[in-house]
Amino acid sequence: MGAWHGVRAFLKLMLIVAPVYTLVTFLKYTPVIRVFAEFMAPLMKHFGLPGEAALAIILGNIVNLYAGLGAITALKITTAQLTVLSLMLLLSHSQILETAVFFQIRAKWWLLWAIRLVLSFAAGIGLSRLIVKSVPAGAADAARLAQMAQMRYVGMGPALGNWARGLLLDTGVKMLLVLVAIFIILELGRRYGLLEKVLRAIGAVTRFIGLKPEAGMPWLAGNVFGIVFGAGVVIESVREGQLDSKQVTLVATFLALCHGLFEDTAIFMVLGANMFWILVPRIVLAVAVTWVLSKVLRDDRGGAKPPMVPGS
């Protein structure tokens, strides 16, 4: 039963992931990303970063966190600058894909997109004032940005091959395996009473930010495994009538700012980022913003609506 729930959630998510992934892959072969990076480069001084850091922010937000990570490895920046850039990317990344996922689960996607972007920039400015000693002058070299940002088109065959490998193997297989594993774990956790114990342990936190007990499991799954996998649990919870639109938006708000706590934090720590500054601000901002929205948003009196499924 748990495995089937995982497969069903995977199929629903792939309906939105596949076209978005295809769009992003196409953009990599165009000058769009490079143009954005060149436009952003002069603004990097406000974050205490060199102009080339614009590429990491653009790739991280348009493509995914790992694309931004790849750009970071090509930069020559201090530990403090790395920490600022890491915090900005952890707060706002994969905006095209993850915003599409928010739309799929009927969260207020436009609000979450704006919150992530604004808080990412605000956190970058604020943290840079605290820990970056000097602000670099000048913008990035346009030729260097162009070389790093735009993929070289060498033919339809190789391009389609890269697209298929990325979508089916790197993305699809990983999503399927992780979602099936999550729902099997949930099924076993419910059967043996472990899930109730975990949810009781985190109950004080979830109640404070306005989440009902039924929202605890999607919230926990997203924090551990990430937005896409947490969304898979949200889809099943909405289908079973456990979450209304307000609860979906509150879960999505917290996860938009703070998800994949273990894996994502560890990756940037390995590069040399300061754990305190890339972890604590995210948790504090996620708690604060979710709490505010829990007071502002109205309760859904019409009951839960099923997630949107194209073609159904």
Please state the pTM of the whole predicted model.
0.77
Give the span between the Cα atoms of 60 and 48, in whole angstroms: 18
Neighbours of 148 (CB within 10 A): 19
Assigned token pair, 149: 């940002």
Give the span between the Cα atoms of 7 and 178, in whole angstroms: 10
What's the pLDDT band for 303 if we cut at 50, 70, 90?
Answer: very low
**What are the pLDDT digits (tens) for 140-151?**
555 555 555 556
Asked if 227 contacts 219 with a C-beta cutoff of 8 angstroms, the reply is: no
Among 22-26, 291-295, 306-310, the minimum mean pLDDT is found in 306-310
**What are the pLDDT digits (tens) for 235-276?**
877 777 778 889 999 999 999 999 888 878 888 888 889 999
Give the span between the Cα atoms of 293 and 135, in whole angstroms: 35
Cα 278 to chain centroid distance, Å, stands at 14
Asked if 251 contacts 228 with a C-beta cutoff of 8 angstroms, the reply is: no
Name the residue ranges covered by the structural domains of the chain: 2-296
**What are the pLDDT digits (tens) for 80-114?**
999 999 999 999 998 988 888 888 888 888 999 99
The amino acid at 131 = I
Looking up tokens 């979710």 gives 290
Sign for the pseudo-dihedral over CA of 11, 263, 186, 107: negative
